[in-house]
Amino acid sequence: LAKTTQPISMDSYEGQEVNITCSHNNIATNDYITWYQQFPSQGPRFIIQGYKTKVTNEVASLFIPADRKSSTLSLPRVSLSDTAVYYCLVATNQAGTALIFGKGTTLSVSS
Amino acid sequence: GAVVSQHPSWVICKSGTSVKIECRSLDFQATTMFWYRQFPKQSLMLMATSNEGSKATYEQGVEKDKFLINHASLTLSTLTVTSAHPEDSSFYICSAPLAGGFTDTQYFGPGTRLTVL
């Protein structure tokens, strides 16, 4: 399984755009990139998933360059409620494949 | 999205007793479920893979006789912490993959807080 590297923490203010970059240099051809959000004492919540280029949904965008060795989660106009830990995971998307979590990025949003 | 539930959400027990935690996929079937453990200020650690109709697969360092896993049906997996001790106090989380389109997305339960006195 590809190892991921993310910043340990980031700080932002309400209304700003936040970009969290994840490095995954040894990503395999069959690997997908998935981001999860976790609040204290809750299970992780799926945010977005992608394979290449750009993916956008109602809460975030995911940018993946052509070499796929990194990815950037973009949160537009964050609010206080976006304060959480964000995990970048790389794994093959096959049933039976467990997700291995790294340390994640703790995002703190202030007013 | 898909919903995974856990019961109980929290439990306090005395040292030496056994505790059962249930994980259910509410609106989809899951032949595979995963159990994680999370200590304060740390990331999730995979404990085991629960397989419907067969034995669970445990990660290195996880005692299979202490953490009993039973995947009773396509929507239910249980984790039993036998003879619990204070060091077993942790946040236990399960997940289940939902197949759809060209990718499988994993959905996580809300977690169970276990405190062993």
- 């197949």: which residue's tokens? B99
- Which residues of chain B have a pLDDT value below 70? 1, 99-104
**pLDDT (0 to 100) of residue A18:** 98
**pLDDT (0 to 100) of residue B101:** 43
Count of CB atoms situated within 10 Å of the CB of A3: 12
Asked whether B75 and B29 are in contact (CB, 8 A), the reply is: yes
Interchain CB distance below 8 Å, B97 and A95: yes
Chain B within 8 Å of A45 (Cβ-Cβ)? yes
pLDDT greater than 50 at residue A22: yes
CB pairs A-B closer than 8 Å: 63
How far apart (Å, rounded) are the C-alpha atoms in residues A82 and A108? Answer: 8
